[in-house]
Amino acid sequence: MMQQQHKRAAPITFKVGDMVMVQAPPRESKLSPKFMDLRLIVSEGNGNKFAVFDPALNTVEMVHSDRLKKTKTSEPALDSHTCLPRSTKPEVPLVYCLCQLGGPEEVLYRFSLE
């Protein structure tokens, strides 16, 4: 029986640049997600391990291929060590903008002049 299953099974191969989902840690309830957000394979490690880049945390971690799930995305692969481009304008807390300035209209007007 096992031999027949192994004959039909297609091996899943991962390569650098693939977008994957990583299996979440053990779940506390059946409603918890099984897999975490999209990650990018940056490099191959020893054996079946891959270095996976997490753009949300801007970190790279080694993950075994058993914990990876290939995804079909229309997004282009992210660069290996960059996240989404940040704005060049300075970040100002929203509370400051609304309290010190005359409301959202003045905030938009003031920062559009810069």
pLDDT digits (tens, 9 = 90+) for 81-106: 444 455 565 565 555 555 555 555 66
- Residues of the domain holding 10: 1-75
- For 45-110, list the strands marked E by DSSP: 49-54, 59-64, 68-70
The DSSP secondary-structure symbol of 109 reads H
Same domain flag for 61 and 98: no
Same domain flag for 45 and 67: yes
Nearest to residue 17, comparing CAs of 1, 31, 38, 33? 38
Same domain flag for 71 and 107: no
Number of structural domains in the chain: 2
Same domain flag for 69 and 95: no
pLDDT tens digits for range 65-83: 889 998 876 454 444 444 4
